[in-house]
Amino acid sequence: MPLRQHGRKARFIMSVKIIGTGSALPKLQVTNADLEKLVDTSDEWIRERTGIRGRHISTGETLVSLTAQACAGALENAGRAASEVELLLVATCSPERGIPCAACQVQSVLGAQKAVAFDLNAACAGFLFALNTAYAYVEAGIYRNALVAGGEVLSKIVDWTDRGTCVLFGDGAGAVMVEKCDKGGLLGFVQHSDGRKGEVLRCDSRELKNPYVSLPMEAPYVQMDGREVFAFAVRRVPESILEVLEQTHTDIEEVDLFLLHQANRRIIEGIAKRLSVDISRFPTNLDRVGNMSSAAIPVLLDELNRQGRLRPGMKLVLSGFGAGLTYGAGVMEWQ
């Protein structure tokens, strides 16, 4: 069991391991050809610039319904009951309601009455930040387990007349069940934020309107400076991955798979090149589901798990990046 040094005293620490995964996607899949009928674009243009061929779009499925379904799948995969969950975290930037939070609504659907539930918003890095939050709670001995989800219905905050953004995003949710462990599991995390660059990817909320003032929203839908986001991701993500590898004393050649936020095929290829790692070690699903923000990593993780591609002892790097600007990475040993 690892030791952590604090001043003159060293104390034993614990970690968490993922014991179950789940995911949920809306029934409707919208292809690039379908989008050709809505905006001035083409299948070839979208594929060449993003690697995306299709995405799932809600026709009534909500963030809560998708996330609850993903959480139920994670619990079933883990062989655990909702009544056993002690902490329930939902990462999202597209909730249906300001209050109550999505996590409390999911808690109600699942019947996880004993859980403490709340939301986190770190956009596309949200799931990773939520997983690190669960890790911190368990490591501190406050809770023994956690259900961690990332879910989005981005189709309601996308301008469907803007061909630069509407072709990128999809809806969906993914979740993992984690429990404390004495070895292996999550080995380390790094997290970073740079609010100075936050305006390059933004979406305003409700307008300020009261008896004393009425101010319209400047950006009621997602607005993005694609070049700035691309440059940020290709530069900062490799830095954070190398940072966490150094922190955990892990050689890059020991890593079996790199599970990155599924934003853009070119971004992933650029990151792989900077790390001098073969692209075959970067599994993707963005061609089928697009960019699902905080849902991207857990949905990919669930797909790999259910395909039997994750074996005990494999080392994985998870990395998320997005609005904020927020980014980070984690290393885990699959058990």
Catalytic residues: 124, 261, 291
Helical residues (DSSP H) of 176-320, grouped into ranges: 226-247, 265-275, 286-289, 296-306
| Amino acid identity at 167 | V
Contact 153, 167 (CB under 8 A): no
Please give the DSSP secondary-structure letter assigned to residue 254: G
Contact 168, 311 (CB under 8 A): no
Strand partners, 104: none
Q: Measuring CA to CA, how many Å separate 187 from each of 7, 236, 255, 257?
A: 22, 21, 12, 15
Q: Answer left, alpha or beta for residue 144, where phi above 0 means left and psi between -120 and 50 means alpha.
A: alpha
Could you tell me how far CA 55 lies from the centroid of its own chain?
A: 16
Per-residue burial over 184-195, b if 16 or more Cβ lie within 10 Å, else e, is ebbbbbbbbeee
Contact 49, 153 (CB under 8 A): no
Cβ-proximal residues to 230 (8 Å cutoff; 6+ apart), any chain:
264, 266, 267, 270
Contact 305, 17 (CB under 8 A): no
Cβ-proximal residues to 113 (8 Å cutoff; 6+ apart), any chain:
83, 107
Q: Which helix (H) or strand (E) holds 69?
A: helix 63-78
